[in-house]
């Protein structure tokens, strides 16, 4: 279409030119003889002029012919000369003729200039409209190119404090550097890698670093961009993106904010969001259709994995998930070092101390902090940034963060530390418990406050009664520790209590593990659940049994709580020591804790 517009300007010019040609041609066709004015006057005196028509500038008419065509008449035209001058000239017998100043050029210009301006303006607006339309019509072809960043100079060195995630991504980099090597060995790679973690922890940065390290093209699009578009275009854009990526393989396709696009379908009964659904479906189709050995790696990032459509997480799609959690103290120190490279700091700056002062902050917060400190130094006309600026900057940044998500409170940290240690120590003391892998009290990480990670030794299909009881004791260990250390308890245990109660309930109602209730199965059938709500399905046991069940559950819980208290009372000193370490490092390995416990018993 653009071509067509350019052409029409040429058509106009061609038209003007043709008209001029035709005019000339017509003129010569009627063969009007142009004669000088002096000749006209002469002919007039000789009585040769038969008829004239006078206009302001010229005289046109017929005159008698001489010589060959004598007797006939022919047309003539002469440009007038003003009478005064002509009289004078006649006196002296001068041949003279009038001349009309050629107004051809000015006339043409007066025509062309406005026309050109008009066309120019029209063209400009057309172009702009077309540009927008093209965005819709060629379905992001241009967009994807814009997002193709071929020269990324981000490397793994720029991303700090997320070593576990980096380790997992190294394999992806290896693959992208030499896909042949992998396929020859029959190696299989995940199609999709999902980076999961709180905002600002460096997910986008990591994705770029993977591209930078492997030196392959990087196509990136944000989930929210898909959703803003018109119906059907998001899907087409996804198709187009993958098409382009396949041509550029090996390469990386990165979808940021996957949650915006991949929210579970079927929510929002009123109308729903068709567009997003279509786009998501297209993404799923593309993921199923592409062969990972072709060398295209799909990376995505989200900070809300829980709302993702389960279809996205099925095997063969985003089947590998990498956690990018908030950094611990050491991680923060490393991140600070990365960002401090760009500014001048005094040599005595204690980076470790800065890291210790910023629990809960993520990479983005720390980058902001360094920047803030540098600005403060500039304001104070200092050559180098020192601890004083960092302290001031931390105050500012923390004040901002606290408003946002209530970050650090030393008393709470202490409670969380003892609580988590309570779980871990109970687990370590009971042989049937799953091994403790890690304790963390980094606030607002994957858990709200802290977590104790226990990893089962293998897949479990059967659980013994004693193991279930141990699980309950471990869950109650958190609260038990709080009671022992602070002589008070907090709300931090509500999730533990809910899980412990669930286990106890199952033991009594489903597994027949309670002596008083007996070997019976009382759990409601799943289908009856909804009927229950409208009062149709009656409980399958009597009031008395219900009371008995309640009593048994309470009995199990309180026995296990007593057991946890018992274990922890004997280890109060160790608890205090371990809490000290945990508060300092924010994270402890299971092995480390075990060693510490062996030392202190
Ligand atoms: P996310 O995508 O997880 O929300 P980003 O990758 O966009 O976070 O991080 C924003 C900025 O914060 C980065 O550009 C970088 O300057 C800084 N940053 C975040 N995490 C890290 C990290 N682990 N190491 C170094 N810098 C980081
Ligand atoms: Mg991001
Ligand atoms: Zn707990």
Output the DSSP codes for 459-505: --S---HHHHHHHHHHHHHHHHHHHHHHSS--GGGHHHHHHHHHHHH
- Top mutation candidate among 159, 206, 334, 363 for ligand 1, by most atoms within 8 Å of CB: 363
- Given a cut of 60, whether residue 132 has pLDDT beyond it is no
- Residue 321: what pLDDT? 87
Domains defined along the chain, listed by start: 33-102 (3.30.720.210), 145-323 (3.40.50.300), 329-399 (1.10.8.60), 410-599 (1.20.58.760)
Average pLDDT in the 15-30 region?
74
- Given a cut of 70, whether residue 255 has pLDDT beyond it is yes
Q: Three-state SS across 78-108? A: EECCCHHHHHHHHHCCCCCCCCCCCCHHHHH
Query: Ligand 3 is a single-atom ion; what residues have CB below 5 A from it?
Result: 478, 496
Ligand 1 pocket check for 204: Cβ under 6 Å: yes
| Angle, helix 494-509 to helix 465-486, in steps of 10 degrees | 150
Ligand 1 pocket check for 205: Cβ under 6 Å: yes
Ligand 1 pocket check for 223: Cβ under 6 Å: no
Q: Tokens representing 484?
A: 């022992």
3-state secondary structure of 589: strand
Residue 129 pLDDT class (50, 70, 90 cuts): low
Residue with tokens 């090996």: 250
Residue 421 pLDDT class (50, 70, 90 cuts): very high
Please state, in angstroms and as integers, the Cα–Cα distance from residue 263 to each residue in 12, 195, 300, 337, following that order.
Answer: 55, 16, 14, 37
- Residue 205: what pLDDT? 92
> In ligand 1, which atom is closest to the CA atom of 364?
12
Residue 256's closest CA among 313, 303, 201, 324? 303
Ligand 1 pocket check for 336: Cβ under 6 Å: no
Residue 149 pLDDT class (50, 70, 90 cuts): low
Distance 295 CA to ligand 1 centre (A): 26
Residue 422's closest CA among 340, 478, 467? 478
User: pLDDT tens across 77-128, in order?
Assistant: 888 888 888 888 888 888 888 777 766 777 788 888 888 888 888 888 877 6
Which ligand has the minimum distance to the alpha carbon of residue 198?
A: 1
Q: Whose CA is nearest to atom 11 of ligand 1?
A: 364
- Residue 134: what pLDDT? 45
- Top mutation candidate among 167, 205, 340 for ligand 1, by most atoms within 8 Å of CB: 205
- Give residues with Cβ within 8 angstroms of 389, minimum separation 6: 373, 374, 376, 377, 380, 382
- Residue 74: what pLDDT? 81
Q: Is 304 left (phi over 0), alpha (psi -120 to 50) or beta?
A: beta
Residue 53 pLDDT class (50, 70, 90 cuts): confident
Residue 473 to residue 416: CA distance in whole angstroms: 18
- Given a cut of 80, whether residue 393 has pLDDT beyond it is yes
Residue 563 pLDDT class (50, 70, 90 cuts): very high
- More reliable by pLDDT, 190 or 424: 424
Q: How many CB atoms within 10 Å of residue 558? A: 11
When the pLDDT of each residue in the chain is averaged and rounded to a whole number, the result is 81
Which ligand has the minimum distance to the alpha carbon of residue 196?
A: 1
- Given a cut of 90, whether residue 484 has pLDDT beyond it is yes
Residue 129 to residue 111: CA distance in whole angstroms: 27
Distance 369 CA to ligand 1 centre (A): 13
> In ligand 1, which atom is closest to the CA atom of 203?
3
| Catalytic residue ranges | 420
Residue 471's closest CA among 444, 519, 506? 506
Distance 365 CA to ligand 1 centre (A): 9
Residue 593 pLDDT class (50, 70, 90 cuts): very high
- Residue 461: what pLDDT? 66
Cis (ω within 30 of 0) for the bond into 352? no
User: pLDDT tens across 513-530, in order?
Assistant: 888 888 888 766 544 444
Q: Tokens representing 345?
A: 């700091």
Ligand 1 pocket check for 334: Cβ under 6 Å: no
- Residue 369: what pLDDT? 92
- More reliable by pLDDT, 376 or 527: 376
Q: Tokens representing 384?
A: 């180098």
Average pLDDT in the 430-436 region?
88
- Top mutation candidate among 200, 212, 302, 333 for ligand 1, by most atoms within 8 Å of CB: 200
Q: Give the range among 192-196, 229-233, 237-241, 546-550 with minimum mean pLDDT.
A: 229-233
Q: Tokens representing 104?
A: 């051809």
Average pLDDT in the 62-82 region?
80
Q: Tokens representing 508?
A: 């009594």
- Residue 146: what pLDDT? 46
Distance 206 CA to ligand 1 centre (A): 8
Ligand 1 pocket check for 299: Cβ under 6 Å: no
Share of the chain above pLDDT 90, in %: 22
Distance 138 CA to ligand 3 centre (A): 53
- Residue 528: what pLDDT? 41
- Residue 458: what pLDDT? 58
Are 556 and 469 contacting, i.e. CB atoms less than 8 angstroms apart?
yes
> In ligand 1, which atom is closest to the CA atom of 198?
3
**DSSP state, residue 345:** B
- Residue 537: what pLDDT? 44
- Residue 188: what pLDDT? 66
Distance 375 CA to ligand 3 centre (A): 41
Residue 410 pLDDT class (50, 70, 90 cuts): confident
Q: Give the strands of the sheet with 58-64, arranged side by side.
A: 33-34, 73-79, 58-64, 49-54
Please state, in angstroms and as integers, the Cα–Cα distance from residue 24 to each residue in 36, 73, 108, following that order.
Answer: 20, 23, 15
Average pLDDT in the 10-28 region?
78
- Residue 339: what pLDDT? 94
Average pLDDT in the 461-485 region?
91
Beta strand 251-256 pairing with 296-302? parallel
- Residue 514: what pLDDT? 86
Residue 35 pLDDT class (50, 70, 90 cuts): confident
Average pLDDT in the 196-215 region?
90
Ligand 1 pocket check for 331: Cβ under 6 Å: no
Average pLDDT in the 455-479 region?
83
Ligand 1 pocket check for 201: Cβ under 6 Å: yes
- Residue 219: what pLDDT? 86
Residue 228 pLDDT class (50, 70, 90 cuts): low
- Residue 3: what pLDDT? 44
Cα 475 from chain centroid (whole Å)? 38
Ligand 1 pocket check for 198: Cβ under 6 Å: no
- Given a cut of 70, whether residue 432 has pLDDT beyond it is yes
Ligand 1 pocket check for 162: Cβ under 6 Å: yes
| DSSP-H helix ranges across 191-232 | 203-214, 223-228
- What's the chain's length in residues? 601
Average pLDDT in the 361-373 region?
92
């Amino acid at each position: 279409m653009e071509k067509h517009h350019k052409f029409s300007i040429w058509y106009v010019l061609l038209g003007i030119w043709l008209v001029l040609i035709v005019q000339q041609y017509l003129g010569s066709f009627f063969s009007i003889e142009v004669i000088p004015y002096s000749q006209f006057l002469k002919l007039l005196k000789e009585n040769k002029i038969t008829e004239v028509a006078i206009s302001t500038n010229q005289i046109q008419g017929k005159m008698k012919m001489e010589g060959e065509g004598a007797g006939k008449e022919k047309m003539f035209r002469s440009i007038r000369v003003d009478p005064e001058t002509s009289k004078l000239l006649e006196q002296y017998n001068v041949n003279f003729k009038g001349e009309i100043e050629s107004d051809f050029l000015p006339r043409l210009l007066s025509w062309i200039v406005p026309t050109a301006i008009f066309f120019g303006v029209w063209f400009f607006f057309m172009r702009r409209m077309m540009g927008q339309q093209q965005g819709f019509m060629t379905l992001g072809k241009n967009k994807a190119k814009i997002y193709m960043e071929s020269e990324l100079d981000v490397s793994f060195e720029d991303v700090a404090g997320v070593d576990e995630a980096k380790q997992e991504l190294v394999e992806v980099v290896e693959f992208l550097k030499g896909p042949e090597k992998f396929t020859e060995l029959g190696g299989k790679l995940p199609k999709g890698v999902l980076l999961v973690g709180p905002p600002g922890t460096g997910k986008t940065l990591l994705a770029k670093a993977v591209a930078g390290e492997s030196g392959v093209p990087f196509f990136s699009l944000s989930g929210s961009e898909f959703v803003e578009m018109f119906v059907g275009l998001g899907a087409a854009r996804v198709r187009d993106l993958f098409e382009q990526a396949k041509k550029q393989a090996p390469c990386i396709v990165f979808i940021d904010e996957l949650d915006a696009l991949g929210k579970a379908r079927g929510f929002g009964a009123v109308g729903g969001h068709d567009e997003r659904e279509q786009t998501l479906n297209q993404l799923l189709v593309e993921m199923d259709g592409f062969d990972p050995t072709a060398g295209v790696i799909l990376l995505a990032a989200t900070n809300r994995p829980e709302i993702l459509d389960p279809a996205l997480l099925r095997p063969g799609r985003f089947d590998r998930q990498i956690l990018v959690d908030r950094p611990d103290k050491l991680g923060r120190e490393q991140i600070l070092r990365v960002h401090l490279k760009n500014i001048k700091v005094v040599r005595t700056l204690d980076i470790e101390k800065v890291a210790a002062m910023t629990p809960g902050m993520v990479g983005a917060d720390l980058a902001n902090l360094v920047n803030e400190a540098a600005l403060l130094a500039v304001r104070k006309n200092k050559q180098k940034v020192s601890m004083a600026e960092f302290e001031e900057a931390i105050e500012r940044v923390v004040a901002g963060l606290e408003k946002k998500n209530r970050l650090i409170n030393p008393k709470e940290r202490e409670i969380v530390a003892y609580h988590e240690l309570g779980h871990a120590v109970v687990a370590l003391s009971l042989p049937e418990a799953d091994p403790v892998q890690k304790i963390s009290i980094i606030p607002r990480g994957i858990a709200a406050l802290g977590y104790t990670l226990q990893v089962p030794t293998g897949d479990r299909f059967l659980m013994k009664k004693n193991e279930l009881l141990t699980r309950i004791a471990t869950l109650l260990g958190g609260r038990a520790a709080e009671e022992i250390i602070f002589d008070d308890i907090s709300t931090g245990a509500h999730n533990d209590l809910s899980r412990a109660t669930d286990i106890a309930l199952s033991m009594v109602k489903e597994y027949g593990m309670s002596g008083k209730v007996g070997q019976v199965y009382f759990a409601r059938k799943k289908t009856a659940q909804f009927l229950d709500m409208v009062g149709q399905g009656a409980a399958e046991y009597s009031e008395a049994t219900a009371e008995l069940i309640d009593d048994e559950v309470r009995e199990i819980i309180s026995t296990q709580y007593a057991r946890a208290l018992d274990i922890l009372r004997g280890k109060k000193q160790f608890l205090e020591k371990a809490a000290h370490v945990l508060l300092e490092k924010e994270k402890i390995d299971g092995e480390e804790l075990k060693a510490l416990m062996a030392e202190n018993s």
